[in-house]
Amino acid sequence: MTEDESQRLEYLSSNLKRRAFIYQITRDFFNKQGFLEVETPVRSPAIAPEKEITPIESEGWFLSTSPELYMKRLLAAGYDRIFQFNHCFRKGERGAYHNPEFSLLEWYRQGVNYSQMMQDTEQMVAAIAAALGTGKTLKYRDNTIDLSLPWERITVSQAFQKYAGWDPTNDPDMRRFDEDTVLKVVPNLNPHRPVFLIDYPAPMASLARLKPGNPRVAERVELFIGGLELANAYSELVNQKEQEIRFRKEIEQIKKEQNRVVPMPEKFIKAVAHLPECAGNALGMDRLVMLFCNAARIDEVMPFTVDDA
């Protein structure tokens, strides 16, 4: 072990202890509510086709980019409350908030929609704050954040009209949407409160159901705290035919634009036929730990990033 490495790991020890504690509280939170903790494969023959997420291949299979499809196959078989911590891999994603290997917490509930996911998230983060003794306010980087419930909810349409001057739900332009999200919208969200950004343009949520009464948007929500994108939840799409059409379209686009061949996840598509009304959330554990450790970089909450592996 080099001197640098031993110094770095020593410096990280208080954050790593806090990380372990946060995992423990999170497990307790779900166990107490009757959730079953599950583990699903990290390496799979087919994953959800997503244009903007490049998987890492492993002998013709793919490393998990998210456990979503397996979680839904469990739901389709009758499991009604499940959660898991899953190591996920996304090629080329490295920055202050990104490491190509990271940890997602996913949980799903039968018989609810995305509103329940927002409430679960509020309760879970509040439970962690209470256990850590941080109280109702949290200091993250330059801001003091008031965690008292309920948190702010603002639609994508409102947020974009306010901070970027256009409405992506009328005229979805993906590139412009992504750039304005990171450069105009997120930096301008209330820095002193957690904010749920809700109801994304329909084409930007291939696994979510459309909002009843407003098919231009999908029931998708993202949570932002202190500039960190922490979680992404859906009211899940449970229409098999619609799901297959969306995936087929995505697969064709990936082939055409990136010359990347992605197989259709057939077993998942079959399972969607039996999927009950449900909602699920994917939360970045590394970023949640960053928030509670007041860490500016993901490197401060994991002992070995891709650069130190």
Partner 1 sequence: MDISEVRKGSKIMIDGVPYNVEEAEFMKPGKGSAIYRYKLRNLVDGSSTNKTYHSGEKFTGANVNTREGQFLYREGNNFIFMNTDTFEQYTIEETLLGDKSHFLKEGTIVTTMMLEEKPLDITLPIFVELKVTKSDIATKTDTVTAQLKSATVETGYQIDVPTFIKEGDTIKVDTRTGTYVERVVTKK
Nearer CB in complex with partner 1: 129/194 = 194
| CA nearest to 105, candidates 67, 64, 77, 56 | 67
Q: Can residue 95 be called a binding residue for partner 1 (CB under 8 A)?
A: yes
Q: Can residue 256 be called a binding residue for partner 1 (CB under 8 A)?
A: no
CB 217, CB 170: distance < 8 Å: no
Nearer CB in complex with partner 1: 129/195 = 195
Q: How many residues bind partner 1 (CB under 8 A)?
A: 28
Q: Smallest distance, Å, CB 164 to partner 1? A: 13
Q: Which residues contact 210 (CB under 8 A, 6 or more apart)?
A: 202, 217, 218, 219
Half-sphere exposure of 240 (CA within 13 A, CB side): 14
CB 239, CB 245: distance < 8 Å: no
Candidates 69-77, 91-99, 164-172, 263-271; binding stretch for partner 1 (CB under 8 A): 91-99
Binding residue (CB under 8 A) for partner 1 from 229, 240, 269, 303: 229
Give the largest CA-CA distance in the chain.
Answer: 61
Q: Can residue 24 be called a binding residue for partner 1 (CB under 8 A)?
A: no
Overall size of the chain counted in residues: 309
Considering only residues 176 to 195 of the shown chain, the ones binding partner 1 according to CB under 8 A are 177-179, 181-183
Nearer CB in complex with partner 1: 80/229 = 229
Backbone angles phi, psi at 93, to 5 degrees: -90, 100
Nearer CB in complex with partner 1: 36/183 = 183
Distance CA 145, CA 297 (A): 18
Q: Can residue 258 be called a binding residue for partner 1 (CB under 8 A)?
A: yes
What residues line the site for partner 1 (CB under 8 A)? Answer: 50, 52-53, 91-98, 174-175, 177-179, 181-183, 204-205, 222, 229, 232, 257-258, 282, 284
